[in-house]
Amino acid sequence: MAVENQRGHLGDKDGSGDPFPVGMRVLAVDDDPICLKVLETLLRKCQYHVTTTNQAVEALKMLRENRNKFDLVISDVNMPDMDGFKLLELVGLEMDLPVIMLSSDSDTKLVMKGVTHGACDYLLKPVRIEELKNIWQHVVRRRNFDCRDQNKASNEEKAPNIVGESSQGLRSENSADQSKRLGKKRKDQSEEEEEDGEGNGDDEDPSAQKKPRVVWSVELHRKFVAAVNQLGLDKAVPKKILDLMNVEGLTRENVASHLQKYRLYLKKAAQQANMVAALGGSDSYLRMGSIDGYGDFCTSSASGRISNSTLPSYASSGIFSRLNSPAGLNMRGISTSALIRPVQSQSINSSLNTLGNIQPSIFPTNQSSSLLHGIPTSIELNQSKQSNSPTGISQLNQVDLSGFTVASSFPDSRAAVNGPNNSLPCVPNNHLMLQGNPQQTHSPGAFRNQSSVRVASLSGESFDMGMCGPSNLLDYNRCNENWQNAAQLSKFPANSLPLCEPFSNDQLPPTSINASNSSTPIGNSPVDFSSRTRMTIPVPLDDARNELRCQEGLIGNIVQPSSYAPQQRWEEHKLDYNQNMSRPFNPVNSHASHSGVTSSMGHGLNQNNTICSNRFDASLVGQLNGPSPSISRCTEVEKFSSDIRLKQNETYILEQMKSQDGYMQNTFGTLDDIMGAMVKREQNELTLLDGEMGFDAYPVGSCN
């Protein structure tokens, strides 16, 4: 439990016999070497354990590596590489550690700023040792506070929440209680997310719980994080968190959606770290978490940075395998297989996880690891993301994308895959579809996936063509591209996703895709995040429209949080894609939403894709109903492929989000946020990926 960890480092026990505050671990950050040295010496004199750095980014890195390595952070206000207040916010949001600000300027405005950003103290330079002797009180205070909350929470044992898939579990749990409220809450959450994504209104109104919209202020989030840490991320159930937080007017739904985002965010951050190594570092992910402190959290996810990081993880196909295994991944509606999307459905958090999870599973079946590679990463992302809602979204996207990519890559083989996996097949199916492989007959469900995948691929290509521009296209685009490349998708002209054809396999009304493709110059559009609200994705898909809608909705939702504006377009597309992809599984709507979102993310690449994806969804959705996962998977697959390329977790997230579509329906609220975050991330990633659009990279290659 985090709480215990916290306590642990402080001393053995809380209370008597505890050497604390001796040995308290402090991280000191100041760009002025003299001040830093003096501070360090002063702290050592107080018998604290001191670590110093003169760079804020370095400090963040250290903190992110292991949050439990430190008890307290002291930071200067004026630093060249990062504003001290920003660091303050980030630390508070991500690690929930007490932060003390330091400055030689005693201006009241600055002090106020420190307080509103969550600093537990504000010291003036030069610091006196007497003041430093007492800073441990902030640690103790926080610990006790969390402890108290925790006790309360533990009393009410919430149903087992399954974090990973759990998002879903939570959701179900929650839904059970408040299904009705959920819907509403989700909306609220979405709004909230939106707000967060946009404005991050944490500064004011720390607990505006009374209002239907909950503004996750820094303070509120801090409590939230403390509660989550206390419970342990895996065991953190909204109900318990809610109790621990003990905030008036806050509902479980609020917490649930926030939890989703938070999970995603964390995942992203983790992924980011991994990715950095793997991909070459998308720092953006990490940043994701802390957009403006809290804002970052939301935005980061959106940026889909995660995709980058997550992508590598995908390679670990391990994740996929997990997903796949549930052949019934039905995470949520989407046949578990590709359901990375499922994440979406549940709540962004869940979805993300699911996505991540789903994807892997999907892939394994389909392809040879290659695809999976791409996907797993996304899945991973998703998983991590799940918790962090904003990040979660990104993850979702990513996942989705992978799913897609995967799908694309499985041109024929996929079909096969689809069969078995209903869940997974999504990817392969789609893939096939995209590929134009008629063989895709992959089971109806699979087909769906295929279509979705197709779309993705198609879009990918088209996106690439079109989207490449937006760079942020979110991996999704990449995925698309990859698909296209790999799948040799008929070059879908940006607008004309030939996907339709491939889908024709049967179930998916390929035409729809085509239609979408051509008609949907999705271009950035429909999904435009601007349409945040659900599905404003103007995907011209005829039938897919609906689906797209859903997707869009998702995208929109997701997009919202993320304010990735430019990317959103694509992302939306991507989302659409994803949605489409994922949609197949889920009811059109759900898919749509998810996919839309994810697609958008991924779509960035292919505007058309979005359209196509939308179409897919429509068709897919219909068909997929069952195998919806395939779609998600497709995204995943795509993701993977793109992952490889895209690394853009974002797309993955999209995918995830998409797959989640089915699921997302519910979680739109949160998903949006996540999506937003994801989208953002993806966008960022996409940008990165743009170059990489060549999905070829992804193993999907088998697609062709």
689 CA to centre of own chain: 17
CB of 26 to another protein, least distance (A): 16
- Rounded (10°) CA dihedral 215, 216, 219, 223: 130
CB of 32 to another protein, least distance (A): 5
CB of 72 to another protein, least distance (A): 20
Q: 13 vs 37, which CB is nearer to another protein?
A: 37
Q: Which spans in 338-425 are helix H?
A: 342-346, 348-366, 369-385, 389-409, 413-418
Q: 104 vs 151, which CB is nearer to another protein?
A: 104
Q: Quick check: 355 and 660 in contact, CB under 8 A? A: yes
Ramachandran area for residue 464 (φ above 0: left; ψ -120 to 50: alpha; else beta): alpha
Ramachandran area for residue 78 (φ above 0: left; ψ -120 to 50: alpha; else beta): beta
Q: 18 vs 32, which CB is nearer to another protein?
A: 32
Q: In this chain, which of 105, 156, 157, 204 binds another protein, going by CB under 8 A? A: 105
Regarding 50 and contact with another protein (CB under 8 A), the answer is no
CB of 293 to another protein, least distance (A): 23
Q: In this chain, which of 35, 88, 358, 605 binds another protein, going by CB under 8 A? A: 35
What crossing angle do the helices spanning 305-315 and 474-482 adopt, rounded to 10°?
A: 50
Mask: binding to another protein, 58-97, rule CB under 8 A, as x and -? ------------------x-x-------------------
CB of 37 to another protein, least distance (A): 6
Q: 41 vs 151, which CB is nearer to another protein?
A: 41
Q: In this chain, which of 128, 141, 148, 211 binds another protein, going by CB under 8 A? A: 128
CB of 361 to another protein, least distance (A): 54
Q: Give strand ranges (E) for 510-568.
A: none
- Residues in the interface with another protein (CB under 8 A) total 18
Q: How far is CA 99 from CA 43, 218, 421, 561, in A?
A: 15, 13, 49, 27
Q: 39 vs 358, which CB is nearer to another protein?
A: 39
Which pair of tokens denotes residue 96? 């929930």
Nearest CA to 614 out of 531, 664, 542 is that of 542
Q: How far is CA 373 from CA 78, 465, 606, 633, in A?
A: 43, 24, 22, 12
Q: Considering only residues 589-608, where is the footprint of another protein by CB under 8 A?
A: none
Determine if the peptide bond prior to 584 is cis (ω within 30°): no
CB of 128 to another protein, least distance (A): 6
Q: In this chain, which of 129, 148, 156, 160 binds another protein, going by CB under 8 A? A: 129
Q: Quick check: 378 and 689 in contact, CB under 8 A? A: no
Q: 50 vs 226, which CB is nearer to another protein?
A: 50
State the SS3 of 176-200.
HHHHHHHHHHHHHHHHHHHHHHHCC
CB of 127 to another protein, least distance (A): 9
Which pair of tokens denotes residue 548? 């797209």
Determine if the peptide bond prior to 21 is cis (ω within 30°): yes
Q: 32 vs 234, which CB is nearer to another protein?
A: 32
Regarding 107 and contact with another protein (CB under 8 A), the answer is no
CB of 137 to another protein, least distance (A): 21
Q: 126 vs 280, which CB is nearer to another protein?
A: 126
What is the pairing mode between strands 121-124 and 25-29?
unpaired
CB of 65 to another protein, least distance (A): 29
CB of 87 to another protein, least distance (A): 17
Regarding 41 and contact with another protein (CB under 8 A), the answer is yes
CB atoms within 10 A of CB 12: 11
Q: 105 vs 204, which CB is nearer to another protein?
A: 105
Specify the stretch interacting with another protein by CB under 8 A; choose among 98-106, 230-238, 305-313, 530-538.
Answer: 98-106
Regarding 126 and contact with another protein (CB under 8 A), the answer is yes
Specify the stretch interacting with another protein by CB under 8 A; choose among 101-109, 330-338, 528-536, 587-595.
Answer: 101-109
Regarding 33 and contact with another protein (CB under 8 A), the answer is yes
What crossing angle do the helices spanning 238-245 and 136-155 adopt, rounded to 10°?
A: 130
Q: 79 vs 624, which CB is nearer to another protein?
A: 79
DSSP letters along 643-673, please? HHHH--HHHHHHHHHHHHHHHHHHHHHHHHH
CB of 179 to another protein, least distance (A): 55
Regarding 47 and contact with another protein (CB under 8 A), the answer is no
Regarding 125 and contact with another protein (CB under 8 A), the answer is yes
What crossing angle do the helices spanning 348-366 and 369-385 adopt, rounded to 10°?
A: 170
Nearest CA to 611 out of 666, 549, 674, 532 is that of 549
Specify the stretch interacting with another protein by CB under 8 A; choose among 26-34, 306-314, 567-575, 582-590.
Answer: 26-34
Regarding 42 and contact with another protein (CB under 8 A), the answer is yes
Q: Give strand ranges (E) for 23-92.
A: 25-29, 49-53, 72-76
Regarding 34 and contact with another protein (CB under 8 A), the answer is yes
- Contacts with another protein, residue ranges (CB under 8 A): 32-35, 37-38, 41-42, 45, 76, 78, 103-105, 125-126, 128-129
